[in-house]
Amino acid sequence: MLNPPSVSPRSRIRRIAVLAVVASTLLASSMHAKDPKASPAKPADNPLLSESALPYQLPPFDKIKNEHFTPAFTEALAEQLNEMDAIANDPEPASFENTLVPMERSGQKLTRVNNIFGNLAGAHTNPELQKIETAMAPKLAAHQDAIYLNGKLFARVQALYDKRDELPDAESKYLLDRYYKDFVRAGAKLSEPDKKKLKVMNAELASLETKFSQDVLKEKNAASVLVDKREDLAGMADNEIAASAEAAKAEKKAGKFLIPMQNTSGQPALASLRNRPLRERIMKASLARNSHGGEFDTRETVKKIARLRAERAALLGYENHAAYQLDDQTAKDIGTVNKLLGELAPPAVANAKKEAADLQAMIDTEGGNFPLESWDWSFYSEKVLKERYAFDESQVRPYFEMNRVINDGVFFAAGQLYGLTFKERKDLPVYQEDVRVFEVFDADGRPLALFLLDYYARPSKRGGAWMNEYVSQSGLFGNKPVVANHLNIPKPPAGEPTLLTFDEVTTAFHEFGHALHGMFSNVKYPRFAGTNVPRDFVEFPSQVNEMWAVWPEVLKNYAKHYQTGESMPAELLEKLMSSRKFDQGFKTTEYLAATLLDQAWHQLKPAEVPKDVLAFEAQALKTAGVDFPPVPPRYRTAYFSHAFAGGYSAGYYSYIWSEVLDADTVKWIKENGGLKRENGDRFRQTLLSRGGSEDALQQFKNFTGGEPDIAPLLERRGLDQTSPPDAPGDIPPEKPQTGG
């Protein structure tokens, strides 16, 4: 997943209000813990207020402290407002050079503070950063309104837009089009009384979204399941049990075992635990998060957010929030999204029910006197998988040692496709000891980017997997990118290797696809840099990059036993590939259920927002035909951070929408020779380097030479009813990799 990209000049105005809302977690980090005796930092002592002197402008993490952020925000916000006021009050007639270019140049200090704060709040937070986040959210919303609702500023943009055909080049015209649409969508054409209403709504929404995000993450930690006896963990691998013991010890529960919650409804431990009552306890705890009363219950917050979003959409002239959001995406309208989801849901649920019958047969064969429940699915799915394919995940993990996956897999594929080389830099500061830094060099040997790799889970880090940017590429400023990938792999005890699941391997390739999108950016204006593309397009390049995880030449290079160095046996590889066809009904249904919930909430008008959140959720799933209890939604409403805090509101469909483009692109690459420089260079030139500087679907067409075709996706997921699921080497994305 991508940390929510800035899809407008709000990258310099609001990015903190988006990134930090998604990112917060409850527990403290000793590195950034505030010294109560420390005095407020003076501007001269504040490393955030000046450009970093480190290579690529890497933030000086070793010098940044909590107390630097508030004064830095204060100064940066005031500075950008002054810059915008100067543009708005320029006595000269509006021109591209005296209006849009200065707007692109504005807010450099705020961008720097936003990026650093938002990224640290996600990757290494503490209570002090959360307090700053809560205080800043409404201020950032007000700051955005002060710019986009500035009548004089919009008048200059309008004047330029009225004579846009006079601009000399396509990128400049597109920049003007985007600015004009951003202003209009932000309310620039509203009356003054309506602008005042909008400002109040935006400030309240910013605070509510922050509260939702923080409550979800606090509950995720609080809902961890404590187990008294090791024998209750029968079925879990020794290293997983050791990690649970370490987690309990960290919570001052030495001698016990703590099973932490992941963001999703399903929990990893459910696949291996033989203790059915414990499985039930874990799943019920997961599904009840944020909706069982108590201080972290989000149901009232959900209703307020849904109502305010619907009211804001109506004020801006849209039928509902979904219509407002989709107007600026490649899908364009509600009808298109509803049609796609409506076509996918019935065959997905039908497949899930067939899979459920197989699992129930396994239960009955073993003498289990119970019907299949949601807490049984993963456990018996693993059993059926093992019986059908003589395969289980533990067989392949010894061949997926983390360093080898990174260097001989992820980096190797990038070298073969794009000619990239990587050099680890241990001389540069990081924000946490497990973070690694790599300098990336282009095919001609020239420096391209700095890449931060942060793979291990920790209490101060939010869940999921994501990419973000500390510095975005820009021809206007001459900036080279600094990008980061984050995963949440349990750290093994000291001295033991980090062995990945195949899902974690695929996630590493996925997130690096986002990183490539940022590193290859080659645009003039910051507004278009890297992943600044529509939300329903941003996952497309990263999903394409997943194909290299199973490309024979790549897999052979990294899938080697961590002890012997021997390559994965052909027989085991065949089992792995065959097994990836399994359980697609479950995976598609749980994702679609969450997606349909997202749309249900955001296609409401203000008066339609329900009083009972859980009753509405149940009815929405039933109406959509995805109310199948053994397969709960990947996210239930009360902990659905994507929809209510994370920038994916009415946009969670983006993963499946992007997968249409991904599957079509993978087919093209295979038909044109696969892993070769010509294909990599073409993908880079026509798409990865373009950022948001031209229409997203046009970029897709420039690469493939044609319109998107849904057939490869239907075949991949086994939903075409005629073809088998994926062929080896064409693995569909697993459950969407998320951060909330």
Q: Picking from 42-46, 459-463, 675-679, which range would have the lowest pLDDT averaged per residue?
A: 42-46
At 713, the pLDDT band (50, 70, 90 cuts) reads: confident
Residues 6+ apart with CB under 8 A from 11: 111, 114, 472, 526, 527, 532
Q: How far apart are alpha carbons 419 and 42 in whole angstroms?
A: 45
Confidence of residue 31 (pLDDT cuts 50, 70, 90): very low
Q: Is the pLDDT of residue 26 over 50?
A: no
pLDDT digits (tens, 9 = 90+) for 349-362: 999 999 999 999 99
Percent of the chain residues topping a pLDDT of 90: 76
pLDDT reading at 12 higher than 50: no
CA–CA separation, 78 and 145 (whole Å): 14
Q: State pLDDT tens for residues 482-523.
A: 999 999 998 888 888 999 999 899 999 999 999 999 999 999
CATH 3.40.50.720 fits 397-547, yes or no: no
Token pair 């209006």 is at which residue? 99
Q: What are the CB-based long-range contacts (under 8 Å, 24+) for 222-225?
A: 222/296, 223/261, 223/285, 223/286, 223/288, 223/289, 224/251, 224/258, 224/259, 224/260, 224/261, 225/258, 225/259, 225/261, 225/278, 225/281, 225/282, 225/285
Listed by start position, the domains of the chain span 9-217, 223-287, 397-547
Residues forming a β-bridge with 225: 259
Please compute, for residue 545, the number of CA atoms within 13 A of its CA located in the half-sphere on the CB side.
Answer: 31
The whole-number pLDDT of residue 656 equals 92
pLDDT surpassing 80 at residue 181 = yes
Identify the pLDDT of residue 715.
Answer: 82
Residue 725 clears pLDDT 50, i.e. is over it: no
> In this predicted structure, what is the pLDDT of residue 721?
55
pLDDT at 102 over 50: yes
Segment 630-642 mean pLDDT: 96
Report whether 646 contacts 640 (CB < 8 A). Answer: no
Tell me if 191 sits within 8 A of 185, measured CB to CB. no
Query: Of the listed 511, 546, 694, 734, which one is catalytic?
Result: 511
State the Cα angle at 410 between 407 and 414, rounded to 5°. Answer: 105
- Lowest model confidence (mean pLDDT) among 227-236, 260-269, 476-485, 619-628: 260-269
pLDDT of residue 43: 55
Query: What's the confidence (pLDDT) of residue 662?
Result: 93
Residue range 454-474: mean pLDDT, rounded? 90
The larger pLDDT score, comparing residue 712 to residue 115, is at 115
What are 645-679's pLDDT values in tens digits? 978 899 999 999 999 899 999 999 999 999 999 99
Query: How confident is residue 386, by pLDDT bands cut at 50, 70 and 90?
Result: confident
Average pLDDT over residues 632-642: 96
Bigger pLDDT: 34 or 669? Answer: 669
- Edge-to-edge strand list for the sheet holding 436-441: 421-424, 436-441, 447-456, 482-489, 466-471
Half-sphere exposure of 244 (CA within 13 A, CB side): 25
Average predicted confidence (pLDDT) for the chain? 89
Please tell me the predicted confidence (pLDDT) of residue 2: 60
| Whole-number pLDDT of residue 215 | 93
- What's the length of the chain? 740
pLDDT for 580-607, tens place per residue? Answer: 778 889 999 999 999 999 999 999 999 9
Is the pLDDT at 408 greater than 70? The verdict is yes
Active site residue 387: no
CB atoms near residue 35 (< 10 Å): 9
Bridging pattern class, strands 482-489 and 225-227: unpaired
DSSP secondary structure string for all residues of 429-475: --SSTT-EEEEEE-TTS-EEEEEEEEEE--TTS-SS-EEEEEE--BT
* Residue bearing the bigger pLDDT, 712 or 611: 611
| pTM of the complete model | 0.85
- More confident: 261 or 610: 610
Q: Minimum mean pLDDT among 53-62, 243-252, 502-511: which range?
A: 243-252
Instruction: Assess whether the region 9-217 and the region 397-547 belong to the same CATH fold.
Output: yes
Amino acid at 481: P
Higher pLDDT: 425 or 19? It is 425
Indicate the pLDDT class of residue 3, thresholds 50, 70 and 90.
Answer: low
CATH fold of 9-217 reads Neurolysin; domain 3 (1.10.1370)
Average pLDDT for 82-86:
97
| Cα(215)–Cα(291) distance, integer angstroms | 11
Residue 193 structure tokens? 């009384």
Specify whether the CB–CB gap between 32 and 464 falls below 8 A. Answer: no
| Confidence (pLDDT) at 732 | 32
Check pLDDT > 70 for residue 33: no
